[in-house]
Amino acid sequence: MKKVYIKTWGCQMNEYDSSKIVDLLQKNQNCIITKESSNADILLLNTCSIREKAQEKVFHQLGRWKHLKKNNNNLIIGVGGCVASQEGEYIIERAPYVDIVFGPQTFHRLPEMLNKFYKTKNAIVDVSFPKLEKFKSFPKTISHSPSAYISIMEGCNKYCAFCIVPYTRGEEVSRPSIDILLEISELAAQGVREITLLGQNVNAYRWFDEKSGKIYTFANLLRLVASITGIDRIRFITSHPIEFKDDLIEVYKDTPKLASFLHLPVQSGSDRILNLMKRSHTISYYKSIIEKLTKARPNIQISSDFIVGFPGETKYDFDQTINFISEINFDMSFSFLYSPRPGTPATYLPDKVKEEEKKYRLYILQNIINKQAKQWSEKMLGTIQRVLVDKILHDNESISGKTENNRVVVFNGSSNNIGKFVDVKITDSNIHFLKGKLINVENDINL
């Protein structure tokens, strides 16, 4: 049995891809996973190139692994993910001790690549974009948690001026609805209760069924997922404002299984910057979505992504972002300093704002977001929340799970409650999690 060590950087999609790599290697290569890089036979790095000095970080990590090859001649090093997709052959040129380079759309070929490498000992690079091929190779998904992720579409056609994703993950491709529904039914049969639908732009989902001549949109797909017995909570990441159409708002009205929490990236509160970012939407359009959503779901909470220090962002643009954050009252959100990505159009825009000033703006923005998230948590004190229990903690007396609005709650309970929805009264809140008291377990009345 070969021991595989895998290090994953980046988004939820990369985590998902790594879990599939593990399934594939366990099934087709008789591999086991090790948590120690020093005793591994195969080292894999699943990389991310969304921000910062991604390439340098990769070569530093590889430099550390290079030394392990001195003690083990047969050690194989593979690099995958978005940096691999971006750099391709150059990875082997700069780090000749790397044996396999694979992309986000070719990692399912790893078993074949390994076999070929064992025979020829020649480095292999495959960062091509074979559409949907990988999904056919995945072994049946086994979930170890009552909450599971499932990829419904890949890639992005939006080409925001700052973003590298369309170049590294390719254009939008949707999986057949029937495959997604079958996989979720199988997960439900294993006891999965909550599904998170994954994709770079889930609401761009579209599948044309040749047999019936019907087009399945994201709204159609959500309703079908909600009809699966056993699945009681549905989430999705990430959606784009531009495709947040009325049919999707309707699903919020009539599908209670869809969680009242939405992550909808806006990036900036200034129309001028949104235009430079090529986001294809304005602030008033974004606001109109939130208004419609709040009508459909008065208790919905919204989180977002913000980029601070985009080229040419003035103090006035930044203030507009800050005002917009307060106006929408965004919950916990992600915010980043703009980071120029090789080959993206934003790198050619003039930029006079000093790095110090950008960092200061980020600090201000994060303080406001944190303050608002804290207020949202405090509002929950004394309320009763529906929680899906997914963990028993080390003390063996506390269990934890997530509320509909994505907060972790810790409370006393037994492992028998894992995989169940329970009612918890919130008694305490801090920055990272809430504490509560178990009131009711589904099917059990009054504890």
Under rule CB under 6 A, residue 200 binds ligand F3S: yes
- C-alpha closest to that of 381 among 402, 352, 409, 345: 409
Cα distances from 206 to residues 49, 61, 176, 348, in angstroms, run 27, 38, 9, 33
Cβ 265 to ligand F3S shortest distance, Å: 7
Stretch that binds ligand F3S, among 23-31, 155-163, 292-300, 376-384 (CB under 6 A): 155-163
Under rule CB under 6 A, residue 50 binds ligand SAH: yes
**Tokens 């340098």 correspond to what residue?**
56
Among 165, 173, 180, 410, binds ligand F3S (CB under 6 A): 165
Among 223, 240, 297, 402, binds ligand F3S (CB under 6 A): 240
The partner in contact with residue 159, picked from ligand F3S, ligand SAH, none with C-beta cut-offs of 5 to 8 angstroms by kind, is ligand F3S
- CB count in 10 Å sphere of residue 245: 13
**Closer residue to ligand SAH, CB minimum distance, 29 or 339:** 339
Residues in the chain: 447
Among 20, 109, 134, 158, binds ligand F3S (CB under 6 A): 158
DSSP state of 68: H
Which tokens belong to 265?
């990236």
Among 80, 146, 170, 265, binds ligand SAH (CB under 6 A): 265
* Cross-strand partners of 401: 389, 409
**Closer residue to ligand F3S, CB minimum distance, 347 or 415:** 347
Under rule CB under 6 A, residue 200 binds ligand SAH: yes
**Closer residue to ligand F3S, CB minimum distance, 105 or 147:** 105
Cβ 127 to ligand F3S shortest distance, Å: 18
Which tokens belong to 194?
């909550």
**Closer residue to ligand F3S, CB minimum distance, 200 or 217:** 200
Q: How far apart are CA 374 and CA 393, in angstroms?
A: 24
Under rule CB under 6 A, residue 341 binds ligand SAH: yes
Stretch that binds ligand F3S, among 105-113, 161-169, 228-236, 311-319 (CB under 6 A): 161-169
Cβ 342 to ligand SAH shortest distance, Å: 10
DSSP line for 38-66? GG-SEEEEEE--SSSSHHHHHHHHHHHHH
Burial call 318-343: b when 16+ CB within 10 Å, e when fewer? bebbbebbeebebbbbebbebbebee
Cβ 303 to ligand SAH shortest distance, Å: 11
Binding mask 223-262 for ligand SAH (x = CB under 6 A): ---------------x------------------------
**E strand spans, 110-160:** 124-126, 147-151, 153-154
Among 29, 128, 141, 339, binds ligand SAH (CB under 6 A): 339
State the virtual CA torsion across 267, 155, 225, 244 in degrees, nearest 10. 40
Separation of first and last alpha carbons in the chain: 48
* Cross-strand partners of 297: none
Among 160, 225, 325, 418, binds ligand F3S (CB under 6 A): 160
The partner in contact with residue 336, picked from ligand F3S, ligand SAH, none with C-beta cut-offs of 5 to 8 angstroms by kind, is ligand SAH
| CA geometry: angle 85, 87, 90, nearest 5 deg | 135
Among 15, 41, 250, 305, binds ligand SAH (CB under 6 A): 305
Where does residue 374 fall: left (phi above 0), alpha (psi -120 to 50 degrees), or beta otherwise? Answer: alpha
Under rule CB under 6 A, residue 360 binds ligand SAH: no
Q: How far apart are CA 82 and CA 110, in angstroms?
A: 16
The partner in contact with residue 166, picked from ligand F3S, ligand SAH, none with C-beta cut-offs of 5 to 8 angstroms by kind, is ligand F3S
Cβ 376 to ligand F3S shortest distance, Å: 25
Residue 52 near residue 339, CB atoms below 8 Å: yes
Q: How far apart are CA 105 and CA 49, in angstroms?
A: 15
The partner in contact with residue 307, picked from ligand F3S, ligand SAH, none with C-beta cut-offs of 5 to 8 angstroms by kind, is ligand SAH
Cβ 377 to ligand SAH shortest distance, Å: 23
Which tokens belong to 75?
């050690």
Among 42, 156, 276, 434, binds ligand F3S (CB under 6 A): 156
Residues 6+ apart with CB under 8 A from 138: 20, 23, 24, 108
Stretch that binds ligand SAH, among 78-86, 242-250, 337-345, 394-402 (CB under 6 A): 337-345
Residue 178 near residue 224, CB atoms below 8 Å: no
Residues that bind ligand SAH (CB under 6 A): 11, 50-51, 162-163, 165, 200-201, 238, 265, 267, 305, 307, 336, 338-339, 341
Residues that bind ligand F3S (CB under 6 A): 156, 158-160, 163, 165-166, 200-201, 240
